[in-house]
């Protein structure tokens, strides 16, 4: 058990029986009344930001969170199968627990966050910020079609994902894609 005096940015704790991380906190000592701590907490299961005020000295449950490197092996009807890069242990995650899964190809390295302790479980599966993928289908650009402010076209990538790219990208090009906002990065 810890108290609000142990708060620091990046501390992992259990709040309302959910794993959370402190994003921001401020200790407030008003001229009248007891001291309190204002916080912004990120729910590690869904990414939502919660605001909460703790009374000074309140007890909190600190949890241990560990990041581990995994490699994506394949997808089947049960979900996505991953292998730990150091111990070769394999795990399966449900399809809805991996964000931007359509940008993930076999052999892709990912980082998973686990809550350790009596009940070890996976919280998140994060792709690298940029992934390199081949364009498998792209409509040819029409000459003179740049009158609009954003000259973009939709392409299909080797994983089946569809994103918007500049007109000069053709079928067979290898590009980088930003996995956080699904945007075109650059041609490789």
pLDDT tens for each residue of 13-67: 999 989 999 999 999 999 888 999 999 999 988 889 999 999 999 999 999 999 9
Strand order in the sheet with 162-166: 162-166, 152-157, 130-138, 174-178, 183-187
Residue 136 shares a structural domain with residue 174: yes
Residue 13 shares a structural domain with residue 42: yes
Distance CA 171, CA 177 (A): 15
Strands (E), 29-103: 36-43, 49-55, 59-62, 64-76, 79-84, 90-93
Containing domain of residue 140, as a range?
A: 130-187
- Domain-terminating residue out of 109, 126, 143: 126
Residue 121 shares a structural domain with residue 69: yes
Residue 58 shares a structural domain with residue 71: no
Most confident of 79-83, 92-96, 149-153: 79-83
Residue 122 shares a structural domain with residue 172: no
> How many domains does the structure of the chain reveal?
3
Cβ(53)–Cβ(36) below 8 Å: yes
Residue 14 shares a structural domain with residue 29: yes
């Amino acid at each position: 058990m810890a108290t609000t005096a142990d708060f620091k940015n990046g501390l992992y704790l259990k709040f309302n029986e959910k794993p959370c991380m402190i994003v921001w906190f401020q200790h407030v000592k008003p001229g009248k009344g007891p001291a309190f701590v204002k916080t912004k907490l990120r729910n590690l299961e869904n990414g939502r930001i919660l605001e909460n005020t703790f009374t000074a000295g309140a007890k909190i449950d600190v949890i241990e969170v560990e990041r581990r490197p995994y490699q994506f092996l394949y997808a089947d009807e049960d979900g996505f199968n991953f292998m730990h890069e150091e111990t070769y242990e394999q795990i399966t995650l449900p399809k809805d627990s991996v964000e931007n899964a359509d940008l993930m190809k076999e052999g892709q390295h990912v980082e998973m966050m686990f809550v350790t302790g009596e009940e070890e479980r996976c919280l998140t599966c994060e792709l690298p910020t940029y992934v390199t993928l081949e364009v498998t289908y792209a409509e040819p650009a029409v000459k003179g079609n740049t009158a609009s402010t954003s000259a973009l076209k939709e392409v299909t990538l080797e994983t089946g994902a569809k994103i918007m790219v500049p007109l000069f990208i053709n079928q067979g090009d290898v590009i980088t894609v930003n996995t956080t906002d699904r945007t075109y990065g650059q041609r490789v």
